[in-house]
Amino acid sequence: MQLFRKTLDERAFQLLKEKMKQGLLPQWVVTDPDLYELEIEKIYGHTWQFLGHESELKEPGSYLTRWMVNDPILLVKNRNGEINAYLNSCTHRGTQLCTADRGNKKSFTCPYHGWSFNLDGDLIGIVAGNKVYGEEMDKSEWGLRKVPQIGIYQGMIFGNLDPNAESLVDFLGDMKWYLDMMMGRSDGGMEVIGLPQRWVAKANWKATAENFAADPYHVQTTHRSTVEMGISPEDPLYAGYGHQVVMDHAHGINVITSKTGQARVPFQGTPESMWPMFKKNVTPEQYDILSRVTVFVGGVYPNLSFVSPIHGTEGHLHNYLNFRLWRPMGPDKVEVWCWFFIDKSAPKEYKEAAYKGYLGSFGPTGTLEQDDTETWARIVEVSSGLMMRDKELSYNNVSNYLMGMNRIEPDENFPGPGTAYPTCYLDAISRKMHEEWLELISKDIFVMEGV
């Protein structure tokens, strides 16, 4: 058995490209350690990553500690109400400055040597000051290091480590239309309730992101228990009715409706008193989709996913929005961050019931989560085997992404932007994610490696 570092082999990239054009993906790419290093550098070093939401930073002095893969980030709301993002690291010796998940402070003091920074990241205090550093040290040169770019859209806060990357608005592109529909439908927009849940799963970030953004097809089998309990329909095609929409940068969304294209439940079970507010805040085309949709599920590439389901709690139906961030921690490990969003202007009792339904389905103890986590772990185990890295066999051990390929044409009458196909049982978003992935990780690689 001969193994080799495929990431340093130009022929390997060409073979990957050829397989992907056929709707196939060699399974070794899921957990290959060399590719993982490229992914962190070339994808996460240059794309926009979700950090949080404005509703989590309510007052001046509010802060959150988050991550951009391996970089600890400190999100801070200053006295003027501006939100900034800094590397959560003291500029003296580099230790992590703030360890709490969230809070409110007037300044931040390093637990190591006591250097202090204000809400704008400026160094304002040094223990023993001039007595140990003298007059010549300029404190203005030792402020916290800012994340090169920060952008906010519909209250969602993103960061980018590349100062020359395109703007957040340009990066989101057509996805803005769908985010406007989901996040901006009500007065005051959406708000986060509670802390984001976090847990570590045996999984690869590509598989988890694809599962949410691109794969309603797995619902009928993986989550069979929901059918057996009468929560989901018996119809094996029920999660496929609607449209799958593919966009630039590999963003995508599934607009799941019903067999007739009409609503199973109008406006996903939201209180009827809220419907006129929706109509006021969105376009007629967006309002029509909101009135008919059963579930929205999709993602912003590379690692932000969302699902907006209908859940029954205490004899009533409720709708909310669940954001999911897949933070890579290795080729076979991911930290899952899970937020609960709901309309800020929704009735209090409705919010409470919806939150209860969310906790029962999602999160480390949720019924749906446990189904998915088990499957992801099995993918990691198989893709890490020696047969997957064997030079002679690895390109024949492939995953099938042929569903709908060269068979289903786009629906030109769909009202939203992007390329929309008249079914959600389709691998179009998955194939687009693979194309984006390969384009990003192979950019300049052969020049860099001298191939």
pLDDT tens-digit map of 197-208:
999 999 999 999
Task: Dig out the tokens for 75 from the structure.
Answer: 């999100």
213 within a domain of the structure (yes/no): yes
Residue 394, pLDDT score:
67
The whole-chain average pLDDT of the chain stands at: 90
User: Is 179 in the same domain as 97?
Assistant: no
pLDDT at residue 316, as a whole number:
79
Report the pLDDT value the prediction gives residue 227, as an integer from 0 to 100. Answer: 62
CB 33 within 8 Å of CB 388: no
Q: What is the structure's pLDDT at 374?
A: 80
State how far the Cα of 329 lies from the Cα of 32, in Å rounded to an integer.
Answer: 13
In this structure, the answer to whether residues 371 and 245 fall within a common structural domain is yes
- Residue 2: pLDDT above 50? no
Give the domain extent around 216: 174-441
**Domain with 255 in it: what CATH number?**
3.90.380.10
337 domain residue, yes or no: yes
Query: CB neighbours of 437 closer than 8 A, spacing ≥ 6?
Result: 39, 43, 206, 250, 302
Distance CA 245, CA 260 (A): 19
Q: What is the mean pLDDT of residues 142-165?
A: 98
Alpha-carbon distance of 210 to 250, in angstroms, equals 10
In this structure, the answer to whether residues 220 and 133 fall within a common structural domain is: no
Q: Which residue has the higher pLDDT, 66 or 1?
A: 66
Q: Are residues 202 and 293 in the same domain?
A: yes
Question: What are the DSSP calls for 298-351, one per residue?
Answer: EEETTTEEEEE-EEEETTEEEE-EEEEEEEEEETTEEEEEEEEEEETTS-HHHH
Q: Which two tokens stand for residue 190?
A: 């959406």
Would the pLDDT of 296 be above 80?
A: yes
Q: Could you tell me which residue, 223 or 78, shows the higher pLDDT?
A: 78
Q: Say yes or no: 246 and 117 in one domain.
A: no
Is a pLDDT exceeding 70 seen at residue 1?
no
Checking if the pLDDT of 4 tops 50, the result is: no
Report, as an integer, the average pLDDT of 225-253. Answer: 81
pLDDT (tens digit per residue) in 312-366? 766 678 899 999 999 999 999 999 999 999 999 999 999 999 998 888 777 766 6
Could you say which of 124, 153, 182 is where a domain stops?
153
pLDDT band at 129 (very low <50, low <70, confident <90, very high): confident
Question: In whole angstroms, what is the distance from residue 151 CA to residue 47 CA?
Answer: 12
The pLDDT tens digits of the residues spanning 90-111 come to: 999 999 999 999 999 999 999 9
Q: Is residue 7 part of a domain?
A: no
Domain harbouring 136, CATH code: 2.102.10.10
Domains in the chain: how many in total? 2
- Whether 263 and 275 have beta carbons less than 8 Å apart is answered as no
Tally of CB atoms within 10 A around 220: 20
Domain identity same for 253 and 110: no
Better pLDDT: 261 or 102: 102
Q: How confident is the model at residue 228 (pLDDT cuts 50, 70, 90)?
A: low
pLDDT confidence of residue 357: 85
Query: Does some domain include residue 169?
Result: no
53 lies in the same domain as 103: yes
Confidence class of residue 447 from pLDDT cuts 50, 70 and 90? very low
Does residue 330 lie in a domain region? yes
Query: Is omega for the bond preceding 196 within 30 degrees of 0, making it cis?
Result: no
Q: Are residues 206 and 354 in the same domain?
A: yes
**Which of 96, 118, 153 is the C-terminal boundary of a domain?**
153
| Mean pLDDT score, 138-158 | 97
8-63 residue pLDDT tens: 577 778 888 999 999 999 998 999 998 999 999 999 999 999 999 999 999 999 99
Rounded distance between C-alpha atoms, residue 345 and residue 281, angstroms: 13
Shortest CA distance to 433 belongs to which of 382, 408, 399, 387? 399
19 domain residue, yes or no: no
Question: Are 135 and 203 in the same domain?
Answer: no
pLDDT attached to residue 362:
78
Weakest-pLDDT range from 135-149, 222-236, 348-362: 222-236
Statement to judge: residues 297 and 187 lie in one domain? yes
Given this model, what pLDDT does residue 449 score? 41
Q: Which residue has the higher pLDDT, 385 or 64?
A: 64
**What are the percentages of helix, strand and coil residues in the chain, rounded to 5?**
35, 25, 40
Q: What is the pLDDT of residue 165?
A: 98
- DSSP bridge pairs for 160: 149
Q: Are 135 and 224 in the same domain?
A: no
Q: What is the CA angle 162-167-37, rounded to 5?
A: 35
> Residue 375 pLDDT more than 90?
no
Of 102, 124, 153, which marks where a domain is finished?
153
* Distance (Å, whole) CA 73 – CA 34: 26
In a domain, 22, yes or no: no
Per-residue three-class SS string for 258-303? CCCCCCCCHHHHCCHHHHHHHHHHCCHHHHHHHHHCCEEEEEECCC
Mean pLDDT of 254-267: 85
Give domain status of residue 42, yes or no.
no
Residues 131 and 251 in one domain: no
